[in-house]
Amino acid sequence: MKRQGRLSILLFALFFYAPSIYAHGGLTIDQDKCVFRVARTVVHFTAYQPEVSQEEELCKDIPAGNNTIFVVDFVGEKLRKKPIQLSVEQKTNNRYESYLSKVSQIYPSGTTNLNLPNLGSGEYRISLLFNGPDDASAHTEGYFYITVTASNKEDSMLGLFDKYSWLLILASIGFVAYLLSARLKS
Amino acid sequence: MNVTTVFKKTVLMLMLLIVSTVIYAHGERNQEPFLRMKTLQWYDVKWSVKNEATIKVNDELILEGKVHFFSRWPQVINKPDTIFLANATPGPVFIREESYMNEVPMIQSTGVEVGEVYDFRVKLKARIPGRHHVHPMINVESAGGLVGPGIWVNVEGDADDFVYSVETRTGQTIENLGTYATGNVYKWHAIWAAIAAFWLIWWIRRPLLIQRYLLVKDGQWGKLITLTDKKMGATLMVVIIGLLIYANSITREAYEYTIPLQGGRAVVDVVPNSDKGLITVKNKRAEYYLPGRTVTIDAEITNNHNLPIRIGEFTSANLRFINKALPYAVAGLDEGYPEELVAGASLGIDDDTSIMPGETKRVLIDATDVAWEIERLSSLLNDPDSSYGGLLFFYDSNGKRIIKEVYGQILPTFKK
Amino acid sequence: MSLEQHEAKLLSAISTPGSDAAKIARGLDWIVVGILVFAIIAAYHIHMMLTVGDWDFWVDWKDRMNWVTLTPMLLVVIPAALSYPFMEKFGLPIAGTLCALCLMIGEWASRYFSFHLWTYFPMSMVWPSIVIPGLMLMDMVYLLSRNLFVTSIFGGSAVAFAFAPANWPILAPYHVPVIHMDQVVSVADLIGYTFTRTATPEYLRMIERGTLRTFGGESTLISTFFSAFVCMILYFVWWKIGEWLTNMGSTPNVLKKYVGYSDDVEKEKQ
């Protein structure tokens, strides 16, 4: 009875760690978690690490220690007509300081990218400064926060579960088969 | 049911739930880019009103232009042997008054040939107030609706003011097609509903369930269905049949000349392309530079024309990339054309000098815009057929436009 | 089959006018009728939408072949199945009538609120077909004959025979010819062309593809006869399905023991 109780609790707890909750990226703009807003228009952020993961799109959680390319897409039309000040800032001593920045310019093609070789772990943010749509003096800012972590991801509880979820599925099938065979015997 | 069985069932259910959530983790949303790049290329599309214009209910709106059916039609969908020219609007907020392809009326469906270009013209009339997007569209059997460029139109006024009248061949004028003969429909439905309601009330007024159930069980059919009931049933039978005969005879008198639904097919002839062979385009290599959202086409172009030519525009999936250094190309962009469909940056050409008559030149063409990413056109790399298609517009020194298809395999790259 | 003692007592109690038993039984009648009407509207309407579907929704799908053939066949199935419990358990020859009226309520609500108010289709385009006469005739035949074979043959086929004549009075005005863009089309075709159905291109219309005829009668008769024969078989089969489902049995009512009838529960379990 006690063993059954513990098993039920364990299974019930595992239910909440199902990987579906953590799916991200690769969706259409309206559903994407990798977007942020500036002056009420949408900006999309993607990071690539071509040597490690080829075309895989990363955004909020990026593995450290690899050559990374940051791509910023201005989805809203009005962002392509005014100069934008784009910079990557890193968090040091609870303050965000400039890590890499681009000269204020207009991006008529609506997209730009930055190369960050050998990106170190830490907290970063993409910062966009933009002259307001109507008033030239009014500035609008938008930020997108990124976490770059050293790749010990697999050791975390979630990473472990993700990696071995196939084992859980196999165990479930085994358990179902056991139950069915028990029924057949009786 | 003892505790062990309950426990086993709960465990089973939990396992099923966990397993099912894993399956949902890898869903994909895609709008196949190959459908938009290698099926229809719309160009010279004009609307009779400007983008974001305001018109009133009952005002007309004309869409016209050209539609090119790509010769490298995707293998995975049916060829356009059965198509229908339509308009992509939110339902009947506009009504369709007329539609033509190469001047042939398009009430029915038709068939076209790939590799050819057709003129289209659709005349709409505003019906419901609101802000609506209006595009031309061609439905292709088994492929669905393939939509062209669209503009926003604001319609103001009262929907009740809408009127569309038609004259029949029997000399009758239909005041408003939307309410024609509806009074007659309501009348007959009401008559039949009344008869049905009468029959139901005839039974409901007596005790229904428990009493009748017990009587049936006891076999007292005389009490359940009396002679009066049978007489009423027989009378109703006669009334129903009589009413059907009467209704049909007055209808036949009123509508002597009727025709069945027309399900024919329209036939549209191809207009021969006199410019075929004037220019030859061969795609040598194409790449999609992901970080820059740039499609680069390495093409070999041969000028078989008797005048020098230059590249003016590249268009694919309703996106237009204009060579801003060529005045003829810039003139080809109408004022008021929806700007989200035109790339902000110019079409990049590494050697933009004219290609002389008889010359073959190898050119690198760059089309950069965030639209490749927004429209998820980059996901064509995941398609079963990762190739692209588009049209190149050339202009000779007299400003004559020659259009060629360009297509080929496309490779993703992180190198510029 | 005869009544047990407690049932006979109940029957006499209910049959006494003004008794409490009669009032309670009547109350139950109203509750069940209320629920049943909504249940039948839902089930029958969804069934018709999923099977007959477009042929009933749109005026330019109401042809002389598919519409006239399919609609009666699909109309007859649920009323045939319901005929068994209604008549053989309650002595009520109203299955067809009730289903038809419920369907009309559901269809009119859907056409007016969804098709017309919400998606702007004009009422001349989306009126529903008339189904009441045929289904009522089916009930009358059952009432008068109380015989399965007679009802299958005459009642089942009546649903088909009555369908086209019932709808011609309301459909005829839509088959008047019109010249549009130098082509002759019927008013129904023109309505379908004019009021854009964005995701429904013309080639999807499953109608007879034919040439122009001056009289709209010949094709209809053949479709009607074919439909009638199939309806006869369908009525029989579905009445039998209704019989099987009704007599499947019942589970013991275990809630009875909470109100003191534990003996009854034990008896029922055996």
DSSP result, B41-92: EEEEEEESS-TTEEEETT-EEEEEEEEEE-SS--TTS--TTSEEEEEESSST
- The CATH number of domain A34-151 is 3.30.470.10: no
Whose tokens are 């509806």? That residue is B182
Region(s) of chain B under CATH 1.10.287.710: 181-254
For residue B260, name the pLDDT band (cuts at 50, 70, 90). confident
In chain A, domain spans: 1-23+154-186, 34-151
For residue A132, name the pLDDT band (cuts at 50, 70, 90). low
| Range name among A12-16, B104-108, B288-292, C212-216 with the lowest pLDDT average | C212-216
pLDDT at A16 over 60: no
C31 domain residue, yes or no: no
Please give the residue that has the higher pLDDT: either B330 or B371. B330
C185 domain residue, yes or no: yes
B416 touches chain A (CB under 8 A): no
For residue A53, name the pLDDT band (cuts at 50, 70, 90). confident
Please give the residue that has the higher pLDDT: either B335 or A77. B335
pLDDT at C159 over 90: yes
> Euclidean distance between the first and final Cα of chain B, in Å?
70
pLDDT at A124 over 80: yes
pLDDT at B42 over 60: yes
Find the mean pLDDT for residues B42-56.
94
Assigned CATH class of B33-170: mainly beta
Bridge partner list, B298? B285, B364
Say what the pLDDT of residue C260 is.
78
For residue C175, name the pLDDT band (cuts at 50, 70, 90). very high
Which CATH architecture describes the domain B181-254? Orthogonal Bundle (1.10)
CB-count burial class (<10 Å; 0-12, 13-18, 19+) for B186: middle
Alpha-carbon gap: B368 to the closest alpha carbon of chain A (Å): 6
Q: What is the DSSP string of A32-81?
A: -SSEEEETTEEEEEEEE-HHHHTT--B-SEEESSS-EEEEEEE-SGGGGT
pLDDT at B329 over 90: yes
Say what the pLDDT of residue B241 is.
97
DSSP-based three-state secondary structure for B375: coil
pLDDT at B71 over 70: yes
Strands A41-48 and B173-174, how do they pair? unpaired
Find the mean pLDDT for residues A47-56.
86
Number of structural domains in chain C: 1
| Range name among A77-86, B126-135, C235-244 with the lowest pLDDT average | A77-86
User: The domain B279-413 is classified under which CATH number: 2.60.40.1580, 2.40.50.140, 3.40.50.300, 1.10.10.60?
Assistant: 2.60.40.1580
Say what the pLDDT of residue C212 is.
38
Say what the pLDDT of residue C218 is.
67
Find the mean pLDDT for residues A125-136.
72
B277 touches chain C (CB under 8 A): no
A132 touches chain B (CB under 8 A): no
pLDDT at C270 over 70: no
Say what the pLDDT of residue C213 is.
36
For residue A14, name the pLDDT band (cuts at 50, 70, 90). low
C11 domain residue, yes or no: no
Chains sharing 3 or more CB pairs under 8 A with chain B: A, C
Find the mean pLDDT for residues C6-15.
89
CB-CB under 8 Å, B255 with C132: no
For residue A152, name the pLDDT band (cuts at 50, 70, 90). low
For residue A10, name the pLDDT band (cuts at 50, 70, 90). low
Q: What is the pLDDT of residues C30-85, one digit of tens each?
A: 999 999 999 999 999 999 999 999 999 999 999 988 899 999 999 999 999 999 99
Say what the pLDDT of residue C214 is.
33
Alpha carbons B294 and B365: distance in angstroms, whole number: 10
Say what the pLDDT of residue C37 is.
97
B93 touches chain C (CB under 8 A): yes
Q: A152 is written with which tokens?
A: 């010990």
> Euclidean distance between the first and final Cα of chain C, in Å?
21
For residue C4, name the pLDDT band (cuts at 50, 70, 90). confident
Alpha-carbon gap: B369 to the closest alpha carbon of chain A (Å): 5
- Cα torsion for A95, A97, A99, A102, to the nearest 10°? 130
For residue C215, name the pLDDT band (cuts at 50, 70, 90). very low
Report B:258-297 residues touching A (Cβ under 8 A).
290-293
Q: How many CB pairs under 8 A join B and C?
A: 305
**Which of B15, B295, B340, B386 would you mutate first to test chain A, the one with the most A CBs within 10 A?**
B15
B195 and B240 in contact (C-beta within 8 Å)? yes
Alpha carbons B339 and B337: distance in angstroms, whole number: 6
For residue B161, name the pLDDT band (cuts at 50, 70, 90). very high
Degrees to nearest 5, angle at CA A148 with A143 and A154? 140
Q: B336 is written with which tokens?
A: 């008021």
Establish whether this prediction's ipTM goes over 0.85. Answer: yes
Say what the pLDDT of residue A25 is.
40
pLDDT at B25 over 60: no
pLDDT at B380 over 70: no
Chain A residues touching residue B27 (CB < 8 angstroms): 23
Share of chain C above pLDDT 70, in %: 94
pLDDT at B84 over 50: yes
Say what the pLDDT of residue A22 is.
38
Chain B residues touching residue A22 (CB < 8 angstroms): 25
Mean pLDDT (chain B, rounded): 89
Say what the pLDDT of residue A99 is.
87
For residue C147, name the pLDDT band (cuts at 50, 70, 90). very high
pLDDT at C172 over 90: yes
Say what the pLDDT of residue B96 is.
95
Touch between chain B and chain C: 3 or more Cβ pairs under 8 Å: yes
Please give the residue that has the higher pLDDT: either B75 or B241. B241
Region(s) of chain B under CATH 2.60.120.570: 33-170
Chain B residues touching residue A169 (CB < 8 angstroms): 19, 22
Say what the pLDDT of residue B30 is.
37
| Range name among A177-186, B65-74, B397-406, C168-177 with the lowest pLDDT average | A177-186
Q: Which of A55-59, B21-25, B76-80, B362-366 has the highest mean pLDDT?
A: B362-366
Say what the pLDDT of residue B332 is.
92
User: How far from the centroid of its chain's Cα atoms is residue B55's Cα?
Assistant: 23
CB-CB under 8 Å, B29 with A20: no
Q: Which of A109-118, A129-138, B378-387, C228-237 has the highest mean pLDDT?
A: C228-237
Region(s) of chain B under CATH 2.60.40.1580: 279-413
For residue A2, name the pLDDT band (cuts at 50, 70, 90). low
pLDDT at B231 over 60: yes
Find the mean pLDDT for residues A87-110.
89
Find the mean pLDDT for residues B292-307.
94
CB-CB under 8 Å, C184 with B169: yes
Find the mean pLDDT for residues B44-59.
95
Residue of B nearest to C207 (CA): B263
CB-count burial class (<10 Å; 0-12, 13-18, 19+) for B163: middle
Residue of B nearest to C15 (CA): B211
Chain C residues touching residue B150 (CB < 8 angstroms): none
CATH assignment of the domain containing C162: 1.20.1450.10
Domain that holds residue C170: 60-269
Share of chain C above pLDDT 90, in %: 73
Degrees to nearest 5, angle at CA B289 with B286 and B295? 45
pLDDT at A20 over 50: no
pLDDT at A155 over 60: no
